[in-house]
A = this chain, B = another copy of it.
Amino acid sequence: MEELVFTRPRYIKKAPFHYCPGCGHSIIHRLVAEVIEELGIGEKTIGVPPAGCAVLAYDYFDVDMGEAPHGRGPALATGIKRILPDRIVFSYQGDGDIAAIGTSETIHTANRGENITVIFVNNNCYGMTGGQMAPTTLLGQNSTTTPGGRDENRDGPPIDLSEMLALVRGTVYIERTAVNSIRNIRNTKKAITKAFKAQIAGLGFSLVEILSPCPTNWKMSSTDSCRWIDESVMQTFPLKVIKDEIG
């Protein structure tokens, strides 16, 4: 008997994604939806999409979704979770959203140990607004606001928010993964599962930082983008479990 072994997960709507070819966002959407389905929490999950390329995430996730102003996802998620502590709340954010304008909200939400999960999509640029420098843009990487590539003296170096978050006491689980290869995609799914499980167990703030290709703004093919993550991005942002207090 032939069996359907891979198909669209239950909590992704049947709409075509608006993302560019080879974009990591939609891979990550699918992984989150798969985890939600596998953990059986789809009927009690509330997601908070960001301003960023994933602003339309509510058109894809088939769970309750409430839009946040740019960078404020963690604060907004805090409000939801405090009112509905038995629901599962996740905030989905880009690297500009979480590590530039939202730095403060992210750090303090984490520090308070709010029992939410953050999906942090690090594509080393401002995707939605057309490829400006992000806090995570690599040194030397081109962007529309760093003529000649990011220069440490002029523009500052890339910032490692996840490492900083590991320092605050309210965080229980932080891992950096990627979606540029089968292996990394599988690990990402494991990490997302762990992060949601931490929330289900009421342990505190969990976050998965996911290195994600943005072929459009990197001006590379999809396959080159995946390679570039291995070769360059991971030099600055190595994949690892940054903090694990789940036990």
Contacts and interface: CB of A to CB of B under 8 A. Distances in A.
Contacts of A157: 111, 113, 168-170
Interface in A111-157: 111-113, 135, 152-153, 155-157
Counting every copy of the chain, the complex holds 2
Chain A interface extent, by class: 20 to 34
Contact of A112 (B101, B111, B113, B155): B155
Nearest to A164: B164
Interface in A76-105: 100-104
A121 B76 CA distance: 30
* Closest 5 pairs between A and B when the two form their complex, measured CB to CB: A112-B156, A103-B104, A104-B104, A157-B169, A164-B164
Given A100-B104, A103-B104, A156-B170, 16 more contacts: A100-B108, A101-B104, A103-B108, A107-B107, A107-B159, A111-B156, A111-B159, A112-B155, A113-B152, A113-B153, A113-B156, A157-B168, A157-B169, A159-B168, A164-B164, A164-B168
10 contacts: A101-B104, A102-B104, A108-B135, A111-B135, A112-B155, A113-B153, A113-B156, A152-B169, A159-B168, A167-B167
